[in-house]
Amino acid sequence: MEYEEIVRRNREILSRPLKAIPEEKLARERDLYHRRNRRSREIFEKAKNLIPGGVEHNLSQNKPFPLAMDRAKGYRMWDVDNNVYVDYLMSGAPIILGHAFDPLDEKIVEIIREKGPATGLTSEYELMAAEEIIRRMPGVEMVRFLQSGTEADMAAVRIARAFTGKQKIIKIGGSYHGWSDQMVYSLHVPGTGPLNSRGITTESYAHLIDVPPNDFAALEKAFEQNKDGVAAVLVEPIGGESGTHPVHPDWNRRIRELCDHHHSLLIFDEVVTGFRLDMGGAQKYFNITPDITVLGKIIAHGYPSAGAVGGRKDVMSVCQGGMGEKIYIGGTLAANPITTAACYHTLRLMEEHDAVKKATAYADRLTAAMNELFSTREDLGFFVYNFGPIMHYVTTAFFAVDLSRPDAFTQIMARKQTADDYQVVTLGQGLCTLAGTRMYTCMQHDDEALNKTLEVWGYLLSLIPRG
pTM of the model: 0.96
Same domain for 198 and 318? yes
Over residues 392-406, mean pLDDT? 94
Same domain for 227 and 250? yes
Long-range contacts of 215-220 (CB under 8 A, 24+ apart): 216/248, 216/250, 216/251, 216/254, 219/170, 219/254, 219/255, 219/258, 220/258
Beta strands in 96-174 (DSSP E): 142-146, 168-172
pLDDT at 62 over 80: no
pLDDT in tens, 331-373: 889 999 999 999 999 999 999 999 999 999 999 999 999 999 9
Report the percentage of the chain scoring pLDDT > 70.
99
Same domain for 174 and 309? yes
Over residues 214-239, mean pLDDT? 97
Q: 399: which DSSP letter?
A: G
Query: Domain of 203: which CATH number?
Result: 3.40.640.10
Same domain for 412 and 268? no
The pLDDT of residue 222: 98
Residue 435: which pLDDT band, with cuts at 50, 70 and 90? confident
The total number of structural domains that make up the chain: 2
pLDDT at 394 over 90: yes
362 in any annotated domain: yes
92 in any annotated domain: no
185 in any annotated domain: yes
Same domain for 226 and 319? yes
Cβ contact 61:433 at 8 Å = no
Q: Residues near 75 by Cβ (< 8 Å), separated by ≥ 6? A: 86, 87, 98, 99, 442, 444, 445, 446, 449
Sign of the CA dihedral running 346, 351, 356, 358? negative
pLDDT at 296 over 90: yes
pLDDT at 450 over 70: yes
Q: Give, in order, the Cα–Cα distances in Å from 222 to each of 185, 246, 267.
A: 17, 21, 16
Over residues 400-421, mean pLDDT? 93
Query: Domain of 56: which CATH number?
Result: 3.90.1150.10
Over residues 105-128, mean pLDDT? 91
Q: Residue 379: which of 13, 1, 10 has the closest Cα?
A: 13
The pLDDT of residue 118: 86
388 in any annotated domain: yes
241 in any annotated domain: yes
User: Among 353, 387, 414, which residue terminates a domain?
Assistant: 353
User: Among 291, 318, 353, which residue terminates a domain?
Assistant: 353
Q: Give, in order, the Cα–Cα distances in Å from 280 to each of 103, 239, 250, 436.
A: 23, 17, 20, 28
36 in any annotated domain: yes
Domain that residue 441 falls in = 3-82+354-463
Same domain for 364 and 321? no
The pLDDT of residue 467: 80
Same domain for 138 and 282? yes
Residue 158: which pLDDT band, with cuts at 50, 70 and 90? very high
Same domain for 346 and 365? no
Same domain for 272 and 379? no
Task: Give the largest Cα separation in the chain, rounded.
Answer: 69
Q: At what angle do helices 337-353 and 124-136 cross, to 10 degrees?
A: 40
259 in any annotated domain: yes
Length of the chain: 467
Same domain for 295 and 156? yes
pLDDT at 103 over 90: yes
The pLDDT of residue 283: 98
Which H or E run contains 394?
strand 390-394
pLDDT at 231 over 80: yes
378 in any annotated domain: yes
Residues labelled catalytic: 176, 269, 297
Q: Residue 170: which of 254, 229, 237, 249 has the closest Cα?
A: 229
User: Among 300, 326, 353, which residue terminates a domain?
Assistant: 353
Cβ contact 146:155 at 8 Å = yes
The pLDDT of residue 60: 64
pLDDT in tens, 260-295: 999 999 999 999 999 999 999 999 999 999 999 999
The pLDDT of residue 220: 98
Mean pLDDT check: name the lowest of 4-8, 51-55, 216-220, 425-429.
51-55
Q: Residue 188: which of 170, 173, 174 has the closest Cα?
A: 174
Same domain for 72 and 122? no
Average pLDDT of the chain? 95
Same domain for 180 and 220? yes
